Amino acid sequence: DAGPSAISCPSNIIYNPKDGYYYVMFYMVRKHRQDAGTGIMRTKTLDDPKSWRAWNGSDFTVQFINPYQNPDADPAEHTCQPVSQREILYMSNGLTFNTYFNKFILVGHAGSGYTMQDRGVPGFYYSLSDDLIHWTPRKLIMAIQFPPWVIPPAGGNPEDAPCLTYVSLIDPEDTSRNFEITGQRPYLYYVRVNQTYPRERQLVRIPIEFD
């Protein structure tokens, strides 16, 4: 197919007890008025899909509408803005609250060279935040050879050049309903994709420790 359009790759939903909102982060594709990066939206009522509001750069006011039913709507009023673009780029895979750092922690991949800002070591990274809007510069957790969107050289065994993606953190000691809490020693989960046979996928986990 043509691949993702507008937004994709949402994180899990996480509850923020400080303000009573549920949050989710997502990857934003550069298209028309929308810039590339990581977006965020929130709601207090999970049973009402229309209640979600996304970040517009200063507040959560962006409402998602059907453009075919609202042809006269101003696109600028319904366009998301990325958060901490320089620090996290388009990281959006796994979102938890970390008790070791006492901050929200976001994990994702970066360093693919997909954009001019995305230079560096290809790998899985993490970033920290107090408010889910302002994030620290990402730090490398694990280097990987072929991140998403990077095609390995022709020839050789495709199993020697898997795509590693869909990264997240899960703590086996977490007692929350949706694995929303991580500590100092969570597991790093990711999917190993055979790039020749993309439907062939393996779920992998490795123990990590923050210091």
Q: What is the pLDDT of residue 146?
A: 61
12-21, 60-69, 96-105: lowest mean pLDDT where? 60-69
33-37, 63-67, 102-106, 204-208: lowest mean pLDDT where? 33-37
| 2 lies in some domain | no
| 169 lies in some domain | yes
Number of domains in the chain: 1
Residue 122 CA to residue 206 CA, distance in Å, equals 18
Q: What is the pLDDT of residue 18?
A: 94
How deeply is 90 buried, as exposed, middle or buried, from its count of CB atoms within 10 A (0-12, 13-18, 19+)?
A: buried
pLDDT tens digit sequence for 74-85: 777 778 899 999
Domain limits for position 140: 7-207
The maximal CA–CA distance of the chain, rounded, in angstroms, is 54
Residue 191 CA to residue 7 CA, distance in Å, equals 20
| 109 lies in some domain | yes
21-25, 69-73, 189-193: lowest mean pLDDT where? 69-73
pLDDT tens digit sequence for 166-182: 999 999 999 998 999 99
The residue among 120 and 207 whose pLDDT is bigger is 207
| 53 lies in some domain | yes
| 193 lies in some domain | yes
| 1 lies in some domain | no
pLDDT tens digit sequence for 130-160: 999 999 999 999 998 765 555 555 555 555 5
| 155 lies in some domain | yes
The answer to whether residues 82 and 88 touch, using CB atoms and an 8 Å cutoff, is no
Rounded to the nearest integer, the mean pLDDT of the chain is 86
